[in-house]
Amino acid sequence: MNTRKVLHIDSNHPLMIEQLAQMGYENVENYTSTKEEIEQTISEYEGVIIRSRFKIDKTFLDSATNLKFIGRVGAGLENIDCDYATTKGIALIAAPEGNRTAVGEHALGMLLTLMNKLNLVDQEVREGIWIREGNRGYEIEGKTVGIIGYGNMGNAFAKRLQGFDCKVIFYDIKEGLENQFAKQVTLEELQEQVDILSLHTPQTPETMNMIDEQFINRLRKPIWFVNTARGKSVNTAALVNALKQGKVLGAALDVLEYEKSSFENMFSDNTLPEPMQYLVQAKNVLLSPHIAGWTIESKEKLAQVIIDKIKLLNN
């Protein structure tokens, strides 16, 4: 009887190795070989566990002749050629349930920090600067918060807005998603009403460059903008122009258009596009390095969700 083998391309929580072993799999950890090197032996494996080290494309999948599942330890599957994998009967497993709490809390934390200038005033006080009147913040209460994308992440953010006495609405391409946390509206209604906009969409052809100059010009009011979804959903040049014109009052960005797909250091070549140069200097912009879903707890939750879904495949 052939041994059932799973290849781990990225490191994850130890429970994944432990529980796969308990299920009868042989775990092979390879965190350093190139994609091309791995393709030479991928036919030996029934499963692959990956985060974002490289793209699983047609060439890789053609070499993976015995592959039954790919577990992507994260919310999205954009680094996998999903259509081609599906034609080969390969099960695709993601874990948006695993880091939805982390993303919801991070989005709210960024919004509160941005609207109350907490990152700026912290630095000022450390430098001996004590300004109160010039650092008045804004309240969420009484404002309309709009969410685009109402899956696991959008729901988690809306849930955490309960108690702020604000109106929460959302737009999603799927109908019938309204619940106790938010009201579903059309995109036009959202653009008409929103004071605060938070993006929670996956990266798809439809969401690429979604927040552009045309979208921003359709907003009736100046907005606060939060993006913990995918950087390429926002046209950074258009966002910068909106910040300069006051159409966007402030932006909290955990993700950036210029990120590498593997989430490596985007500053490694020491050159930044002009819009990014503006963002890193702007006082009404808050940045974090794609860590909204990156908590101590979510690392364990993501791994457990993947394991639980692999168990379902085996039943």
pLDDT: which is higher, 262 or 314: 314
Per-residue model confidence (pLDDT) at position 1:
42
Domains and CATH numbers, the chain: 5-94 (3.40.50.720), 100-287 (3.40.50.720)
Q: Does residue 97 carry a pLDDT above 90?
A: yes
∠94-186-238 over CA atoms, to 5°? 75
Instruction: Compute the CA torsion angle 79, 81, 86, 90 (nearest 10 deg).
Output: -50
pLDDT in tens, 110-130: 999 999 999 999 999 999 999
Q: Bin 176: left if φ > 0, else alpha if -120 < ψ < 50, else beta.
A: left
pTM above 0.85, yes or no: yes
CA distance 100 to 155: 8
CB of 307 within 8 A of CB of 18?
no
Instruction: Tell me what percent of the residues of the chain surpass a pLDDT of 90.
Output: 85
CB of 224 within 8 A of CB of 246?
no
pLDDT in tens, 239-274: 999 999 999 999 999 999 998 765 556 666 667 889
CA distance 60 to 7: 13
Per-residue model confidence (pLDDT) at position 315:
79
CA distance 251 to 237: 13
Region 187-193: what's the mean pLDDT? 98
Q: What does residue 237 show for φ and ψ, rounded to 5 degrees?
A: -60, -40
Strands 223-227 and 91-93: unpaired
Per-residue model confidence (pLDDT) at position 193:
98
Nearest to 148 by CA among 210, 85, 91: 210
Cβ neighbors of 24 (< 8 A, separation 6 or more) are 4
Q: Does residue 194 carry a pLDDT above 90?
A: yes
State the chain's mean pLDDT as an integer: 93
pLDDT in tens, 139-173: 999 999 999 999 999 999 999 999 999 999 999 99
**Which single residue is written with the structure tokens 């938070």?**
198
Region 264-286: what's the mean pLDDT? 84
Catalytic residues: 230, 259, 290
Per-residue model confidence (pLDDT) at position 74:
87
Per-residue model confidence (pLDDT) at position 265:
63
Q: Which structure tokens are listed for 41? A: 């032996």
pLDDT in tens, 4-34: 999 999 989 999 999 999 999 999 999 999 9
pLDDT in tens, 58-74: 999 999 999 999 999 98
Q: Does residue 226 carry a pLDDT above 50?
A: yes
